[in-house]
Structure 1
């Protein structure tokens, strides 16, 4: 199986750059650092900080599970844009530490993950392509939409990462 790491890294770097623009917006508008991370699209959706945490969890989780290495636990305590950028950097560093060779034969694996109170089991290719990647991009897109809807000047090119 081909490593998903390059695609995850590309998109994580793009969202980190978007958070950089959000930090500049925060500073220009004199918004307190604790405010931006709590923004949501709608009351019953997770806030920005949680969207980023879930996206990074899918990137590190999928990479680790497919490579057969332990998924590192992150505390999920990041709330500010700066802290979220640090979490993204930590995720990128971890997934880039996994050698490409670790993904050889991953397509034959069965992957089991906890989703709330449930355990879900998938063949590895289905797990990656129909669960991990869609969830990763859903949460990155939601984070982008939260920032865009709150006045941060970003566009599709920012999301795609140039």
Structure 2
């Protein structure tokens, strides 16, 4: 059976690497098409959904929350607000560094240990493995996918390979 480390840290690393790559492609597209990058960072799929920039912030925060829950690391969350363009790269790089510095022995909880998580409706208790597989990863995948979808909607030439290449070593 895969460990909590195997289920979380490498997968979150791949997700953030995917976002970093998508952001770079978005910036290249903006330059080529002479549009401000902020137009892409502020784009939404629907009025009641968050803009692209916040999709990145939330994915970074999901990784931070995972590290805090699974290890002794204290990694303060980013405010849920848009960042200056270059700050997205800085925050992604910093989070990727924290993840790369996390080793299997850094995980301090067992899969069956109960952990508490705060969600908008309050505190929820679940097992550590449920936290990773039922909360952290689905949330992070949702926001990475939403980022991809916003960029596709705005005309950035992306394909499935741009998404999957970060998750499969054979692509």
Whether these two folds match at TM > 0.5 is yes
Q: RMSD over aligned Cα, in angstroms?
A: 1.8
Distance in 1, Cα, partners of 2:122 & 2:152: 33
TM-score w.r.t. the length of structure 2 is 0.85
Could you say which residue in structure 2 is the equivalent of 1:96? 100
Q: Name segments (4+ residues, structure 1) moved above 4 Å.
A: none
**How many pairs are equivalent?**
162
Contact 1:37-1:80 at 8 Å conserved across structures = no
Any stretches of 5+ residues in structure 1 without a counterpart?
A: none
Contact 1:78-1:84 at 8 Å conserved across structures = no
Any stretches of 5+ residues in structure 2 without a counterpart?
A: none
Task: Say which SS state the counterpart of residue 111 (structure 1) adopts.
Answer: strand
1:80, CA displacement in angstroms?
A: 4.8
Could you say which residue in structure 2 is the equivalent of 1:15? 19
Distance in 2, Cα, partners of 1:83 & 1:159: 22
1:141, CA displacement in angstroms?
A: 0.3
Contact 1:36-1:81 at 8 Å conserved across structures = no
Distance in 2, Cα, partners of 1:125 & 1:68: 17
Aligned with 1:68 (options 67, 72, 76): 72
> What are the Cα deviations for residues 124-152 of structure 1, in whole angstroms up to 9, with x where unaligned?
11111011100010010001100011000
1:2 aligns with 2:4: yes
